[in-house]
Homo-oligomer: A and B are copies of this chain.
Amino acid sequence: MHHIEFEPVGRRGSCPEGISLLDCARLLKVDIVSICGGLGSCRRCRVQVVSGAVSAPTAVDRETFADAELKQGWRLACTAFPQGDVRVLVPPESLSTPQRMQVEGLDQQIAPDPAVRIFDVQLTPPSLEDPKADDSNLWSALERDHGVASGIIDLAVLQVLSSRLRALNWRADVVLRESEIIALDAPQTRWIGLAVDIGTTKIAVYLVDMKSGEIAASSALMNPQISYGEDVVSRIHIAGESAENAAKLQALLVDALNGTIASMCDGIGSDPSHIVDAVIVANTAIHHLFLQAPVQQLGLVPYVPAVRSALDIKARDLGLKTAPGGCVHLLPNVAGYVGADHVAMLLATRIAERDGITLAIDIGTNTEICLNRHGRMKSVSCASGPAFEGAHIEFGMRAAQGAIEHVRLSGDRLEIQTIGGVAPVGICGSGLLDGIAQMLNSGVIDASGRMQDHPLVRKRNGRREFVLAQRPGESDITISQKDVRELQAAKAAIRLGIQALIDDAGITENDIDRVIIAGAFGTFIDVQSAIEIGMLPALPLERFQQVGNAAGTGARMALISKEMRRAALEIAERDGYVELACIPDFNERFAAASNLGAELQPV
């Protein structure tokens, strides 16, 4: 075993010999960015070995770092193997956390009508004359006091029934889901519900009072699966390799959720055993990884989900700690890349009920878009890639402290704004979008994306780059020609997705009455910049609405209302699916759509 220490996070511990620094970091729960999942190709897991010996630099290390940097101990964590005790510095841009989170969303008022019912019952103690069994006794009281017919009792409740009834002196709150008793505790217990939106990167968690329907607590955390790859494709690959990997990815997620939920409960003086219902939404891949359902087929043509239906699963079968017999409800998926989170977003934005023509977009590594034309809904999924999460971008990072999030360029005068107002350490998605829109406006790049001569453009190793921030003693933060190409690809994917729905509906862009932009990334982008580069259609700004984490809101609505679960089912049924892979001339269209500018170029 080696003793490994990660700074500045201050995590340390023993790690077995023969595993890489990246695996050590995973073991010690240090969230090092790894987009490729440790394959040595993304070069994002840069760390500096400040003491102790690691294996010699690899060819990839030599390509990634200058000789001077290698001498200073810089390495890719995935290909560096400790040779003894080691101390490692993880720079902010290689750390996944802390990060800006989005838990706020639409505030939809829903009359509580939950799937669970709570009854206060008073039992008559058994006697030799009437030695009724405890279960019969409980059902008699429910029937007598509340007209509830006999049903079944969850095993975990049965296992404590007799002792709890006696400890509570034969009076209790009883919680039923359909005809099953799933929890039992003291009268006037504050029963709560759990709504979770599990994103590929971020997770939003809400505790809801089941009587009032009000949010009791909310919190956000990173999806810890990120240490096995930043995008779902990497995780599908890793989970598909072995049942052990799939189990590990599932457990990572559930353990993180259990930890967060326990501390949230603590914060409101409650306990996870009082969580009597839960709704979880996620994209199809994360949904499957959470269930430990097969994912390999999601990565292969024709990209079909294992499961599309809404599900009710005992929380214990997933390892999630809630009330003894509590269930988890998962909203339905639409397709392999249009998941329950999209359904939840559509539910929260009430798009299905809208007249006119509405477009709803959830921008992310995968961008899902829905067009509702007078009640006819169609969705599309486009692989916009992780550029907006900072991946594949030379100085890219997620929206964490020190990320450049906004850029203004007038002539050669540049203004940048960072998250937290601190010295810049990299550039996040909204900053990249802004920067490229500003470069386009100022003629730093042309419509084809090619970088022109400009006071802020310089050449390094024969390639042009735009200097966003100079950092004496450190590498300057730049947008490279390659970064522009990455954004062009992302932008083309999204715009083509929108166009596919418009073509399918037989309308024009200008017919769209309203564009709803959901999701954390969408909350922070400058819509004008997105229009200027041609990612979004050039409609008047007042037609756009940025709604925050609508998927989380949809999950909460389904948590407290059976009616909303039915509505979600109907949305998933009604929502048609347009497969981009089926569109003729897709590659030519993609090339044309890569051009920057508000107008979509013809093929």
Contacts and interface: CB of A to CB of B under 8 A. Distances in A.
Interface stretch (A298-306, A489-497, A505-513): A298-306
A582 B130 CA distance: 11
B297 A162 contact: yes
Given A126-B302, A163-B296, A166-B297, A307 B158 contact: yes
B126 A304 contact: yes
A137 B294 CA distance: 15
Interface in A563-603: 577, 579, 581-582
Of the candidates A160, A294, A311, A317, the one having the most CB atoms from chain B within 10 angstroms of its own CB is A294
A335 B579 contact: no
A152 B304 contact: no
A307 B134 contact: yes
B134 A297 contact: yes
A555 B147 CA distance: 34
A308 interface: yes
A136 B309 contact: yes
> Which 5 A-B pairs have CB atoms at the shortest separation, nearest pair first?
A133-B308, A162-B294, A131-B302, A133-B305, A162-B306
A137 B476 CA distance: 54
A216 interface: no
A136 B308 CA distance: 7
A157 to B, nearest CB: 10
A293 B136 contact: no
Given A155-B291, A297-B166, A317-B155, A304 B132 contact: yes
A109 interface: no
A553 to B, nearest CB: 25
Contacts of A150: 309
A453 to B, nearest CB: 46
A355 interface: no
Contacts of A297: 134, 162, 166
Interface string A142-153: 000000001011
B582 A304 contact: no
A584 to B, nearest CB: 13
B302 A127 contact: yes
Given A158-B293, A304-B126, A309 B163 contact: no
A363 to B, nearest CB: 23
11 contacts: A126-B302, A131-B302, A131-B579, A135-B308, A155-B313, A158-B293, A159-B291, A161-B293, A161-B306, A162-B294, A162-B304
Contacts of A161: 293-294, 306-307
Contact of A128 (B155, B301, B314): B301
Nearest to A246: B159
Of the candidates A161, A297, A304, A579, the one having the most CB atoms from chain B within 10 angstroms of its own CB is A304
A474 interface: no
A291 to B, nearest CB: 6
A429 B446 CA distance: 100
Interface of A: 126-129, 131-137, 150, 152-153, 155-156, 158-163, 166, 291-294, 296-297, 301-309, 311-314, 316-318, 333, 335-336, 577, 579, 581-582
A523 B131 CA distance: 32
Contact of A306 (B129, B133, B333, B579): B133
Given A155-B311, A160-B294, 8 more contacts: A133-B304, A133-B308, A136-B309, A153-B307, A155-B317, A158-B291, A158-B293, A162-B294
B136 A311 contact: no
A585 to B, nearest CB: 16
Contacts of A131: 302-304, 335-336, 577, 579
A311 B152 contact: yes
Given A161-B294, A293-B159, A135 B313 contact: no
B128 A333 contact: no
Contacts of A312: 152
Nearest to A313: B155
Contacts of A126: 302, 304
Contacts of A311: 152, 155, 158
Given A133-B333, A166-B297, A128 B579 contact: yes
Contacts of A306: 133-135, 158, 161-162
A162 B285 CA distance: 14
A128 B582 contact: yes
A357 to B, nearest CB: 26
Nearest to A151: B309
Nearest to A301: B128
A123 to B, nearest CB: 11
A308 B150 CA distance: 12
A230 to B, nearest CB: 24
Contacts of A134: 297, 304-307
A160 B293 CA distance: 7
Nearest to A284: B133
A86 B309 CA distance: 61
A301 to B, nearest CB: 6
